[in-house]
Amino acid sequence: MANLGYIGLGVMGGRMAARLLAKGHAVTGYNRTRSKAQALADHGLRVAGTPREVAAAADITFVMVANSEALTSVAGGADGFIAGLGRGKIVVDMSTVSPALSRELASRVRDTGADMVDAPVSGSVLTLEQGQLSIMVGGDRATFDRLTPLLEDIGPKVTYVGPHGLAVSMKIATNISVAVQMLAFAEGVLLAERSGIARETAVAVMTHSAIGSPMLQYRGRFVLQLPDEAWFDTTMMQKDLRLALEMGRELGVPLPTTSTTNEWLTAARAMGLADEDFAAVFQALARAAGVDR
């Protein structure tokens, strides 16, 4: 049994913490909205008042927050998790942020005598609950080897991709395809619907055709009805695409489909769909096509 901490108990983080508790690990948790942490207390989570308390109590602290600003907030200052670190401790940052920020934070963590890896995930609520989540890791190889059995308690596919910052680079590169696929799928469903095919039929055919990627097979149904709780909301997906576009400019890589998808996510947010699952890009496109039920 490992002595763990978890900072950020949202849609994915909360479920990962629950999975670690179910595996028998001791977990101390913190969330800005305390009620989300309290919900896990019934399953054995020890609720902390600050990120610093989490890092001080744990040998290995997981962090999964929404964006660069949130990560900076929980990391720094008198109550940040860096202040609770010491020699031999490890931070596993599962947030998707800019590679530059990830490397900077890893350097600050190492100054305390601790170490950090960036370890974002690929998958959804469904793949996490099914035990099929993929985790990519950047950082020191020896630290990765030490963490691998623990990460496998969260998901079975754990891949070392290289030094600090490269795992978040890999995650950003992966999420391009997730968003672009969703927009292309929306276009196809709407084209079929306007030609006279029932939306439900178009979704069923396309998700079981040659284009039916694992992502479309579990998220394609969201064009029929969005989930009550967003698995990954429109604002979060647009944050990842903006990170990709920033990387593209820095590295000289043109990202034409990313740019187009980013514009449709902007449209979805303008239509009041910011907090809906990013599959809401379908609703934005449907309204533009005059198909809105």
Alpha-carbon distance 172 to 245, whole Å?
10
104 and 207 part of one domain: no
pLDDT band at 65 (very low <50, low <70, confident <90, very high): very high
Catalytic residues: 171
Alpha-carbon distance 202 to 198, whole Å?
6
Tens digit of each residue's pLDDT (9 = 90 or more) over 22-63: 999 999 999 998 888 888 999 999 999 999 999 999 999 999
108 and 249 part of one domain: no
pLDDT of residue 259: 98
Q: What are residue 159's DSSP bridge partners?
A: 136
Where a domain ends, among 163, 197, 218?
163
Q: How many C-beta atoms surround the C-beta of residue 142 within 10 A?
A: 9
Alpha-carbon distance 87 to 59, whole Å?
10
Q: Tell whether pTM > 0.85.
A: yes
Place of tokens 């950003």: 172
DSSP 221: G
136 and 194 part of one domain: no
Alpha-carbon distance 69 to 200, whole Å?
40
180 domain residue, yes or no:
yes
293 domain residue, yes or no:
no
104 and 214 part of one domain: no
Alpha-carbon distance 71 to 102, whole Å?
9
pLDDT of residue 293: 61
DSSP 3-state helix, strand, coil percentages of the chain (rounded to 5)? 55, 15, 30
Total domains in the chain come to: 2
173 and 159 part of one domain: no
Alpha-carbon distance 260 to 222, whole Å?
21
Q: Are 6 and 61 in contact (CB under 8 A)?
A: yes
How many whole angstroms from its chain centre is CA 124?
8
Where a domain ends, among 123, 139, 163?
163
Tens digit of each residue's pLDDT (9 = 90 or more) over 81-92: 999 999 999 999
Alpha-carbon distance 252 to 133, whole Å?
31
CATH of the domain at 219: 1.10.1040.10
Tens digit of each residue's pLDDT (9 = 90 or more) over 154-213: 999 999 999 999 999 999 999 999 999 999 999 999 999 999 999 999 999 999 999 999
153 and 202 part of one domain: no
Place of tokens 């001080």: 56
Q: Are 166 and 96 in contact (CB under 8 A)?
A: no
Alpha-carbon distance 4 to 62, whole Å?
8
Domain extent for 47? 3-163
Alpha-carbon distance 259 to 241, whole Å?
8
Tokens of 215: 């992502």
Where a domain ends, among 163, 192, 227?
163
Q: How many C-beta atoms surround the C-beta of residue 221 within 10 A?
A: 16
